[in-house]
Structure 1
Amino acid sequence: MNKLAIIGAGSMSEALISGIVSSKIIETTDITVTNRGNVERLTELQELYGIYYSFDLEKIVQEADTIILAMKPKDVKEAVAQWKDYLSEKTLLISVLAGVNMDSLQRLIGTNIPIARAMPNTSATVGKSATGISFNSFVLEEQQQFVFDMFKTVGLVTFVEEEQLDAITGLSGSGPAYIYYLVEAMEKGALSIGLEREVANELIVQTLLGAAEMIATSSKTPLELRKNVTSPGGTTEAGLKILEQFDVQNAFIECIQEATTQSKRMGKVITDELKLSK
C-alpha cells in the first residue's frame, strides 16, 4: 500500500496530503495527485509538498495500491468511467464523497474491490477533523489499519456502519459550517453592542475553545454545564431566553436532519442513474 493516487485536488485532498506528508506514513515520491486539468493547482501542490502530479490516468491507476476519490460527488460517475478498466482487484479505493455509498461505487466499477468510505470535515486542514469510516467486506485488516492511520494524520477517527455515514455527514461533515454561522452571529452581536471586530473575534474564538475543552474534559453533560453557568435572573439566562424565543435549538436539530437527508438524496441520485443505465 505504498503507492497512493488522489483523484481530485481540492482542500480536502490538500489536507490529507499535508497530514500524510507530515506523518511520513507514505513517501512523498509515492504520492500522485490529479484533477480534470487544473495544472496551476497541481503545480502548487507539487511545490508545497514534494509530491507528483499527472494526467495519465492509466498509469496512475495501474501503479496505485490505494486510490482516494476526492472529486465532487456529482462528477463521480464520469470520473470512474475514465479509469475503472485499469483497476486491479487488490487496489484499495477510499471515497470521501458525500452521499455516494459503497454499493454505488462497486456498481460503477463493475468488479469487487476493497472500498473504504470516509467522511472527514474541513477542519482536516488544521489537523482537527472528526472522521467517520466504514469498509466493505473486501477490505483486508491491514488495509483497514492503513486507512485509520491515514485519517488520524488529520484528526479523530471512528469506525461506523455505512448506514450511519449520512448522519455523520449531516452532523460533523457539515458541522464546521454550523459553527461558523454561529460565530458570524456572535460577531454581529458584538458589533451591535460596541465592541471592535478584532476584539470580538479574539474573545469569541477563545470562548469556543474553552467551551469545547470543558465538554471534552468534564464528566458533566452539555445540559449540566449550561445550567451551571445560568444563574436565575442573570445575564446568561436573559440571553438564553432569546434563543429559546426564536427556537434556536430546534433550528439546529432540523439543520442536522436536513443535511443528513440531503446526503441520502445525493446517494439516491447516483443509485437511480445506475439503475437507468442498465
Structure 2
Amino acid sequence: MKIVCVGAGSMAEAMINGWIRKRILRPGDIAVMNKSDEDRLDYLTHEYGVRQVNDEMSMLEEAPFILLAVKPKDVKVALSAVREFIRPDAVILSVVAGVSIDSIQEAAGNIAVARTMPNTSAHVGKSATGVVWSKAVTKEQQYEIRDLLNSIGSVTVVPEDKLHGVTGIAGSGPAYLYLMAEAMVEAGMESGLEHADAMRLVRQTFLGAADMMQHDDFSVLRKRITSPNGTTAAGLNALIENGFKETVHEGVRSAVARSKELGQEYN
C-alpha cells in the first residue's frame, strides 16, 4: 500500500507517525508534498524517513490513496495541481474540515472520496475518527481505509451531514481537554502545589479517567465517585453553577458552526 500526502501540516504528521509506529505503512511507502514549505517537507523526510514527491509526480501515479490534508481555502489549488496524475482507481482520503465530497470531486474529477475527521491523538494511535464514503469507494477500499484509520485509533462511520458534529466533539475535542488540564494545573498551583507536581497529578488523573471511561457510562462513573456533601460534590456544584455544561455545549456548537462555514466559504 502506498499513500501520498498532499499537505504536510500537523494532522498529516500525526497520521504519518501513527502509521509508521503501528507498522501499517513503511516510511518508503509514504510520500509528502505541499505548496511552498520545503523546510517542512525536509523535516518530515528527516524525522520519519518518508519520501518527497518529485517533479515527475511518479509517486502520485502509483499511489492508490491520496491523503488530502490542506487548509479548506487551498483545496482547489492543491487538487488542480495533482488531478491529472491521480490514478483513476485511487481514493482521496480527505481530512479537510467542512469541504464536501461533491466539492472535492468537482476539483479532482469523478474520483472516489472518503471524508474523515481524525484528531491529532493519531500521533499516539488514539485518534477518534469519523469517516464517510462516497458511492465510488468499493468495499475493498473501505476495508483498506478502515485498516489505515484503525491503526491510528477508533473509527466511526457516519452520514456526511453528521461529520460536522464529529468535528465539534472529536476533531477539536483534544484542545478542550488540554484547556481544562491547563486550568486544573493553575488551580492546583493556587492551592500551593508546585508546577511539576500539579502537572503530574493532572496528567495521571486524565489517564486514569480515560481508562475508566472505557468500561462504564460517563454519568454512572460521575455519580459513583460523588459522595453527598463531599469534596467532589462541592467541586461539581461549583462547575455546574458557573455554567460548565453550557460552556462545553457552546464550544462544540461553535466548532460545528465553523466547520459548516468553512464549507460555505470554499464554495
Using the size of structure 2 for normalisation, the TM-score is: 0.94
Counterpart code for 1:47: H
Q: What's the counterpart of residue 141 of structure 2?
A: 143
Counterpart code for 2:143: Q
Percent identity, please: 42
Shift, 1:235, TM fit: 1.3
Deviations 1:197-255 (CA, angstroms, capped at 9, x unpaired)? 1111111111111112222113xx32222222222221112112211221111110111
Which of 155, 159, 162 is matched with 2:160 structurally? 162
| Mapping for residues 28-107 of structure 1, pairs under 5 Å | 28-56=27-55, 58-107=57-106
Rounded to whole Å, the distance in 1 between the matches of 2:207 and 2:15 is 24
Rounded to whole Å, the distance in 2 between the matches of 1:113 and 1:100 is 15
Shift, 1:98, TM fit: 0.8
Shift, 1:55, TM fit: 4.6
- Superposition RMSD on alpha carbons, in Å? 1.6
Q: What's the counterpart of residue 187 of structure 1?
A: 185
Which of 100, 105, 110 is matched with 1:112 structurally? 110
Q: What's the counterpart of residue 25 of structure 2?
A: 26
Q: What's the counterpart of residue 276 of structure 1?
A: none
8 Å CA contact 1:32–1:54 kept in 2: the answer is: yes
Using the size of structure 1 for normalisation, the TM-score is: 0.90
Tell me: CA distance 1:81–1:230, structure 2 relative to 1, closer, same or farther (3 Å). same
Shift, 1:44, TM fit: 2.2
Counterpart code for 2:167: T
Structure 2 unaligned residues grouped into runs of 5+: none
Q: What's the counterpart of residue 204 of structure 1?
A: 202
Counterpart code for 2:250: E
Tell me: CA distance 1:23–1:184, structure 2 relative to 1, closer, same or farther (3 Å). closer
Shift, 1:41, TM fit: 2.1
Shift, 1:187, TM fit: 1.0
Higher mean C-alpha displacement, 207-216 vs 197-206? 207-216
Counterpart code for 1:165: L
8 Å CA contact 1:19–1:153 kept in 2: the answer is: yes
Rounded to whole Å, the distance in 1 between the matches of 2:122 and 2:169 is 15
Rounded to whole Å, the distance in 2 between the matches of 1:91 and 1:226 is 46
Rounded to whole Å, the distance in 2 between the matches of 1:211 and 1:3 is 37
| Mapping for residues 242-253 of structure 1, pairs under 5 Å | 242-253=238-249
Q: What's the counterpart of residue 236 of structure 1?
A: 232
Q: What's the counterpart of residue 269 of structure 1?
A: 265
Q: What's the counterpart of residue 174 of structure 1?
A: 172
Rounded to whole Å, the distance in 2 between the matches of 1:217 and 1:223 is 12
Shift, 1:34, TM fit: 0.8
Deviations 1:58-88 (CA, angstroms, capped at 9, x unpaired)? 4343232211001112211221122223333
